[in-house]
Amino acid sequence: MLKKISSLLEYEEQYQQSISSPEKFWAEVAESFLWKKKWSNVFSGGFEKVDYKWFEGAQLNITENCIDRHLDSFGNKTAIIWEPNNPSEPNRIISYNELHKEVCRFSNSLMKLGVTKGDTVCIYMPMIPELAIAMLACARIGAIHSIVFGGFSAQSIAGRVQDAECKWMITADGCYRGDKQLHLKNIVDEALEQCPSIQKSIVFNRSNFPVTMKEGRDVWWNDVVKDCSTNHDAVSMEAEDPLFILYTSGSTGKPKGVLHTTAGYMVYAAYTFLNVFQYNTEDIYWCTADIGWITGHSYIVYGPLLNGATTLMYEGVPQFPDWGRWWNVIDKYGVNIFYTAPTAIRSLEAQGLKFLEGKNLSSLRVLGSVGEPINEEAWEWYHKNIGKEKCPIVDTWWQTETGGILISPLAGITPTKPSFATLPLPGVEPVLVDANGNELTEKVAEGNLCIKKSWPGQARTIYKDHEKFIQTYFTTYKGKYFTGDGCRRDEDGYYRITGRADDVIKVSGHRIGTAEVENAINESPSVVESAVVGYPHDIKGNAIMAFVILKSNATASDEILKKEISETVTRIIGPIARPEKIVFVSGLPKTRSGKIMRRILRKIAEGEPDKVGDVTTLLNPEVVEEIKGKVSR
C-alpha cells in the first residue's frame, strides 16, 4: 500500500526529497500500484516544450487499481454508500465485489454496443452509483469519459459533445434534487439534435419520468446490461493514454476540454487523497461535490477507490428536506472525513445553529474545504460548530488542470491558519511572480501563483488544441505553469490564495468565464453588448454583475428585460451562470482600441468606485460617472 506521511518532520523530509529527486520520489510512490508493465522512464519532457510525460512505457488499467486489486483482501468492504435525495427512499450499499461486477457488466455492455478504446463518451447523469459505474467502465475499456455536470443546459452539453466528438452518451431519464425534478433525458434529447456524432445514447431508469426513446439511438441501461457477463478483463492502457476530458471555463471563449492521462493522474489522486485527509482504513469518507466537477472525479471516485476507501455519494442538496440533512447523513453513517466548499459552509452558517441541535457529529475527525478561498469567519464556524474544535481543517487548493490537490495542510500534521492553504504537497514547487514575470524570492510576498515543475497529476493538454494549452498556461510566464490565481506568502512560508487574477469568476465555487456569460447575454434579443465582472458576495464568495447596453427598441420594463437576460443565460449555459445583478448602461468604458476596461467595472461592482483610477485616456470617460451612479443606488 501507499506510504502515508505521519509527522511534520517526515513531511519536510519527503518534501525535500521530492524536490531534489522527483523521479526517485514518484517511482517509490508508484511502486505500490498494480502495473501490467512497469515504466521505462519516470519522467521526461518539461514546460519548455510542454511535452512532459510520467511513467512512460508503463501499462496498467486504473480500474484494476480502484477495484480488482482490493477484492482478495476486502471484497466485502463497502466501496460506495449512496444516500438518495429523499431520506425515505432506500439507500444503497455497494461492496467492492459488487462494484467489480457492475463495472465489468457495464464494460461488456459498452463493448457490445461498439464502444472501443480511444472513443469519447459523454456522461450526463445524476449523483447515483451508475454515474461512477459508467465512468469506471469507460476507463476499464479504454474509452475517454467526458462528464458534463447535471446543471448544464442542452446547449452546453451539445458544445462539449461536438468539441470532443463523442460517439456515445450515457444519461438517465431524470432525477431529484431537493423538491425539484430534473428531466435529464429531455435536456439530452434537445442537445443531441445538434450532435450527429452520437451513435447511441444509454438511458438509466432512475425516476420513471416519461421519456421518448429515439428508435435506433436510445437504449435502456437495464436492457443492455441484461445478458452481459460480470467478468471483464480490463484493457491494457499506456501510461499516457487519455483517461478523461473535463471541460472548464477560462478567461476567453468557450470552455476548454482539459485532458488527463492514466498513470500520472492515478498516482497523484491516490497519493494526495491518502496524505491530505490522512485516510485510515476504516474511515467513512464523504465529499459533497458533484462528480461532474474535478473534485468529484478525483476525490469521490478515483482517489478514495484507489485507496480502498468507503466513499459516500449523496444525490441531493444540503437544504432538503431541511438544512439539517448533511448533519443527519454524517450521524447516520458515522462519517469520519468530510470535504465540502466554503459556499456551502456559509449557507449552513446563515441558518443559525438550530439545525445542529440534536446532531452528534462526534464521528468526524477531519474536515476539508475546496473551490474558493475560505474566509476566516466561515473557517472558524466550521472549526467550532462542525469540528467541535477537535478536527483539523484542510483548506485544499487545486484546479481542474492540476488533477489533484497541490497546496494543502496534511490533516493533523501541518499546523493550520484560517484562510491559508498552507504548504505545497511533495512534488509541488510554487513560485510567486510579479506582473513582469520576475520571481519573488523574498519569503513574504504577493503575486501571481505559478508552479515551476510538472507533477504527475498535471493535465497534459486541451483536447485537440495543444497550442491553446501552451498559450493559456505556459506563455504568460515562460517556463512556468500559470495558475490564474493571485496569492500571498507569509513569514511561515504559508500560501494564501487571494482569488482569480484573470477573467474567471468562482461563483459558489463554480468556475465561470466572463466571456462565456457575455456571449450568452448578447444572444438575448434586446441586448447590444455586455460586460461581466465578479464582486464579493456573502454566501457565494463571488457573484456576477452584468453591465448591459440595450437596443433602442427594447422598450419592455427593466424587470422583464432582466428576466429575459437571465433566462437566456440559463438556456445557453445553465442556472449557475445567471448574473446576480444586471445594470443597464448607455455605454461601457473602452480603451481607444475598443477594449472593455473590466478593471474599472470591477472596482465599481466591488463597491469601490473611488478606486477606478485614471479614466481620462478612455474613449468614453463620461460613462464611468453614469455607471457609478447606477451601481451605488
Helix locations, 454-584, DSSP H: 466-474, 514-522, 558-572
Is 396 a binding residue for ligand 7RM by CB under 6 A? The answer is yes
In DSSP notation, 421-476 reads -BSBPTT--EEEE-TT--B--SSSEEEEEEE-S--TT---EETT-HHHHHHHHHTT
Q: Is 472 left (phi over 0), alpha (psi -120 to 50) or beta?
A: alpha
Is-cis flag, bond preceding 321, omega within 30? yes
Nearer to ligand 7RM, 103 or 148 (CB): 148
State the minimum distance, in angstroms, from the CB of residue 373 to ligand 7RM.
4
CB of 109 to ligand 7RM, least distance (A): 31
Q: Which of 378, 497, 543, 627 binds ligand 7RM (CB under 6 A)?
A: 497
Least distance (Å) from ligand 7RM to the CB of residue 176? 25
Q: Looking at residue 407, what DSSP letter applies?
A: B
Question: How many other CB atoms are there within 10 angstroms of residue 309's CB atom?
Answer: 24
Q: Which stretch binds ligand 7RM (CB under 6 A): 31-39, 140-148, 480-488, 520-528?
A: 480-488
Q: Which of 395, 502, 503, 516 binds ligand 7RM (CB under 6 A)?
A: 395
CB of 293 vs ligand 7RM, minimal distance in Å:
6
Among 65, 78, 207, 399, binds ligand 7RM (CB under 6 A): 399
Check binding of 260 to ligand 7RM (CB under 6 A): no
233: cell is 478483463
Instruction: Tell me if 170 contacts ligand 7RM by CB under 6 A.
Output: no
Strands, sheet with 337-340, edge to edge from the N-terminal-most edge strand: 92-95, 78-83, 310-314, 284-287, 337-340, 366-370, 393-396
Question: Residue 432, CB half-sphere, CA atoms under 13 Å: how many?
Answer: 21
- Nearest to ligand 7RM of 142, 534 (CB atom): 534
Q: Which three cell numbers stand for residue 244?
A: 478523461
| Distance of alpha carbon 103 from alpha carbon 21, whole angstroms | 38
Q: Does 489 bind ligand 7RM (CB under 6 A)?
A: no
Does residue 500 interact with ligand 7RM by CB under 6 A? yes
Stretch that binds ligand 7RM, among 5-13, 82-90, 330-338, 393-401 (CB under 6 A): 393-401
**Residue 201 binds ligand 7RM (CB under 6 A):** no
- Range 292-321, binding ligand 7RM (CB under 6 A): 294-295
What is the C-alpha separation between 609 and 598, in angstroms, rounded? 13
Which residue in 257, 373, 392, 457 binds ligand 7RM (CB under 6 A)? Answer: 373
Nearer to ligand 7RM, 142 or 371 (CB): 371
What is the distance between the alpha carbons of residues 212 and 14, in angstroms, rounded to a whole number? 56
Q: By CB under 6 A, which span of 101-109, 204-212, 370-378, 525-533 interacts with ligand 7RM?
A: 370-378
Site residues for ligand 7RM, 230-249, by CB under 6 A, read 248
Q: Which of residues 408-427 bind ligand 7RM (CB under 6 A)?
A: 421
Q: Is 296 exposed, middle or buried (0-12, 13-18, 19+ CB in 10 A)?
A: buried
Q: Interface mask (CB under 6 A) for ligand 7RM, residues 276-295, using x and -?
A: ------------------xx
> How many residues at the interface with ligand 7RM, by CB under 6 A?
22
HEC string of 577-625 equals: HCCCEEEECCCCCECCCCCECHHHHHHHHCCCHHHCCCCCCCCCCHHHH
Buried b (16+ CB within 10 A) or exposed e, 202-227: bbbbbbebebeeeeeebbebeebbee
Selection from 22, 98, 100 nearest residue 61 by Cα: 100
User: Which of 131, 370, 548, 550 is in the footprint of ligand 7RM by CB under 6 A?
Assistant: 370
Q: Which residue has the cell 461512477?
A: 132
**Residues 628, 127: Cα–Cα separation, whole Å:** 43
Name the residue nearer to ligand 7RM (CB basis): 346 or 511. Answer: 511
Crossing angle between the packed helical segments 154-164 and 558-572, to the nearest 10 degrees: 30
How many C-beta atoms surround the C-beta of residue 153 within 10 A?
A: 22
CB of 506 to ligand 7RM, least distance (A): 5
Shortest spacing between CB 223 and ligand 7RM, in angstroms: 36
- By CB under 6 A, is residue 397 in contact with ligand 7RM? yes
Indicate whether 484 belongs to the interface with ligand 7RM (CB under 6 A).
yes
Place of cell 471483464: 232
Among 262, 311, 400, 514, binds ligand 7RM (CB under 6 A): 400
Looking at 163, 372, 503, 518, which residue binds ligand 7RM (CB under 6 A)?
A: 372
Residue range at the interface with ligand 7RM (CB under 6 A); choices 170-178, 179-187, 477-485, 567-575: 477-485
Q: What is the CA radius of gyration of the chain?
A: 24
In the bound state with ligand 7RM, the residue whose beta carbon lies nearer, of 445 and 619, is 445
SS3 state at 391: coil
Q: Does 511 bind ligand 7RM (CB under 6 A)?
A: yes
Question: In the 8-state DSSP scheme, what is residue 354?
Answer: G
Q: How many CA atoms lie within 13 A of 224 on its CB side?
A: 26
Closer Cβ to ligand 7RM, 43 or 285, answer by number: 285
| Least Cβ distance, residue 619 to ligand 7RM (angstroms) | 32
- Interacting span for ligand 7RM (CB under 6 A) from 364-372, 525-533, 564-572, 579-587: 364-372
Closest distance of CB 258 from ligand 7RM, Å: 8
Quick one: which of 184, 177, 217, 181 has its CA closest to 201?
217
Q: Which stretch binds ligand 7RM (CB under 6 A): 1-9, 221-229, 479-487, 621-629?
A: 479-487
- Which amino acid would we find at residue 95? S
Q: Is 250 in the site for ligand 7RM (CB under 6 A)?
A: no
Check residue 518 for interaction with ligand 7RM (CB under 6 A).
Answer: no
Residues that bind ligand 7RM (CB under 6 A): 248, 294-295, 369-373, 395-400, 421, 483-485, 497, 500, 506, 511
